[in-house]
Structure 1
Amino acid sequence: MATPNLECRMYESKYPEVDMAVMIQVKTIADMGAYVSLLEYNNIEGMILFSELSRRRIRSVSSLIKVGRQEPVMVLRVDKEKGYIDLSKRRVSEEDIAACEERYNKSKLVHSIMRHVAETLHLDLEDLYLHVGWPLYRKYGHAFEALKLVVNDPDSILNTLTREVKEVGPDGQEVAKVVPALSEDVKDALIKTLEGLMTPQPLKIRADIEMKCFQFDGVLHIKEAMRKAEAAGNSDCPVKIKLVAPHSMFLLTQTLDKEQGMLVLTSAIKACTEAIDKHKGKLVVKEAPRAVSERDDKLLQEHMANLRHANEEISGDEGSDEEEDTGMGEIDLENSPAGLQD
């Protein structure tokens, strides 16, 4: 049996992008600068010129860079044909460093999981990344976010991964066929490895709704419908409601039991619908209850921030309590925003 290749970069791209912060390890110090290995890119070589070590006058190179040290640096130039990568230590900001370290720590854990599975089943690591790791990076922003969900609900994540294989049909012609990306052996090994390395994290279950009531005291009726929704929660799955924009909101719960969380939010939506229907209001489910990742949360926060910024820009009535009250965040059912009613 051929020895599997267990060396592979962490990301689909073979080279980093310019102006991206990457984690390096210093290998040697030469006359012009330091040669380093890019840890996230299968240790390909890069160079930091001495002029890129510090914004200040350099009195001692050894005080700024040492062999063996790991740290984030900024990518200045990438020559993919020649394999040259120029890096800078002086141009990386504190924010870049924090983001790079967070990404690298997540990527390193994902890499150890993928490598362990590949080594256990005698698979090529790059092949495993090709069909499992990199598709998860594309779909979830970072494979780490997907693997956290796999711990609690493996089928909903892993069963969506597919690959295309070529087969010869009855007529002798080659045809493409879509099959699951993971065999049962690979799936079982991945789940077992995750259980040993990652403790279960509470799942966030979210549902997006729109609710309107144009009757007299419509805001009061919406308040009452919200209370009914929150009352459907329990100590294991408390239900919270947050406002995105006038009439648009989402219901959220966190739980280790996905099925229970889905049922609780479904019951909350039903209770809310029944309450608002009594007053000739209307509730529309825009997104049914589903598990969401940190990336989904970040996208939602960005969307809410954009809406808030847009409201600030177009606001022509600074004294209007109606616009001011349609703020973001959790709804206070005792002092809910007037913006819920047209």
Structure 2
Amino acid sequence: MTNNQNDYPEVGELVVCRVSNVVDFGAFVELEEYGNKEGLIHISELASGWIKHIKDHVQEEQKVVCKVLEVNPKKQQINLSLKDVNEHQKRQKIQDWKNEQKAERWIEFVAEKTDSDKEKIKQKITNKTIDDYGGLMYPVFEEVALEGTTPLTKRGIDQELAETFEEIAKENVEIPYVDITGYLELKARNSNGVEKIKKSLKEGNKIEKDNAKIKISYIGAPYYRVKINAPDYKTAETILEEVTNKVLKKIEEQGGEGKFHREIEEAE
């Protein structure tokens, strides 16, 4: 998130910093997201345990993720901790920061196409999405890339601006889709059994949800593969369950029988 030059971070917030000066008692850093305001990581907050050489832990020009311990705007003082940030938090924060930098460029593209002021556009979108995204812009572009103009128009953004956002989002956002697979075992023992199975599988293919793709394929009687391609694993698992339940319900309604198997080994 890019903040106003006069903003200060909140205590407990994770911030991306550039190490500007390493001294005997710690390291001075510049907060990338807060107008390069200066902060201090005291030696006691660099790492757990005794520190012999500070430069074994931080180097000048290094990018680090710190936790905000104290903020005093009157004294222009920001105290930070490096040791209180774990590797997962560090990776996630760096990724979020990089994503916001991308979003800043994309807002510039929107401003150019609409012949508008970048900051006014950003403020308008932020005001409408603050409750859902806390002022972050990348998730807005991501949602628009997935769902079109609806996420913006339903929040009161005019159609023309929303359409430009959609155009820029779809050109630039890479959605990290995931694949999961399950297997259906379907049986219908009579002369029109094949038709009953086809009707049952059609029920599963009717589902349209969360920009997911559903593919059901035959792999050898009586087994069928169900492949779900969705934006995340939670969504994919939910859709897989819904698809298989629809198919199994339909085959049973027609007097047939069916089972779901998560792995092919179980189905054989």
1:12-56 Cα offsets, whole Å, 9 max, x none, are: x94333223221112233564322222223333222122322223
Q: Residue 59 and residue 335 in structure 1: after superposition, are their counterparts in 2 closer, same or farther (change >3 A)?
A: closer
**2:204 aligned residue:** 230
CA distance in 1 between partners of 2:164 and 2:57 (Å):
43
**2:172 aligned residue:** 197
CA distance in 2 between partners of 1:183 and 1:334 (Å):
44
Q: Does 1:101 align with 2:100?
A: no
Q: Does 1:129 align with 2:122?
A: yes
Tell me the amino acid that sits aligned with residue 83 of structure 1: Q
Residue 23 of structure 1 contacts residue 39 of structure 1 at CA under 8 Å; is this kept in 2?
A: yes
3-state SS of paired residue (1:108)? helix
**Runs of at least 5 residues in structure 1 that lack an aligned partner in the other structure:** 1-7, 163-179, 204-224, 240-251, 257-263, 280-331, 337-342
**Runs of at least 5 residues in structure 2 that lack an aligned partner in the other structure:** 179-198, 217-226, 232-238, 263-268
Q: Residue 150 and residue 60 in structure 1: after superposition, are their counterparts in 2 closer, same or farther (change >3 A)?
A: same
CA distance in 2 between partners of 1:96 and 1:229 (Å):
42
Identity %: 19
**2:152 aligned residue:** 158
3-state SS of paired residue (1:72)? strand
3-state SS of paired residue (1:91)? coil
Tell me the amino acid that sits aligned with residue 37 of structure 1: E
Residue 22 of structure 2 contacts residue 55 of structure 2 at CA under 8 Å; is this kept in 1?
A: no
CA distance in 2 between partners of 1:188 and 1:50 (Å):
51
**1:148 aligned residue:** 142
1:192-222 Cα offsets, whole Å, 9 max, x none, are: 433432246669xxxxxxxxxxxxxxxxxxx
CA distance in 2 between partners of 1:226 and 1:140 (Å):
40
Q: Residue 183 and residue 199 in structure 1: after superposition, are their counterparts in 2 closer, same or farther (change >3 A)?
A: same
Q: Does 1:15 align with 2:12?
A: no
Equivalenced residues, count = 215
CA distance in 2 between partners of 1:57 and 1:200 (Å):
44
Equivalences for 1:1-342 in 2 at 5 Å? 9-10=2-3, 14-30=7-23, 32-118=25-111, 121=115, 123-125=117-119, 127-133=120-126, 135-140=128-133, 143-162=137-156, 180=157, 182=158, 184=160, 186-187=161-162, 189-199=164-174, 229-230=203-204, 232=206, 236-238=213-215, 254=229, 333-334=259-260
Report deviation, 1:132.
Answer: 1.0
Moved more, 130-139 or 44-53: 130-139
Report deviation, 1:86.
Answer: 0.6
Residue 213 of structure 2 contacts residue 228 of structure 2 at CA under 8 Å; is this kept in 1?
A: no
1:67-124 Cα offsets, whole Å, 9 max, x none, are: 2211111111122444321101122222322332232232222223224444674515
Residue 23 of structure 1 contacts residue 73 of structure 1 at CA under 8 Å; is this kept in 2?
A: yes
Tell me the amino acid that sits aligned with residue 156 of structure 1: T
Tell me the amino acid that sits aligned with residue 62 of structure 1: K
CA distance in 1 between partners of 2:69 and 2:143 (Å):
36
| TM-score, normalisation: structure 2 | 0.59
Moved more, 99-108 or 13-22: 13-22
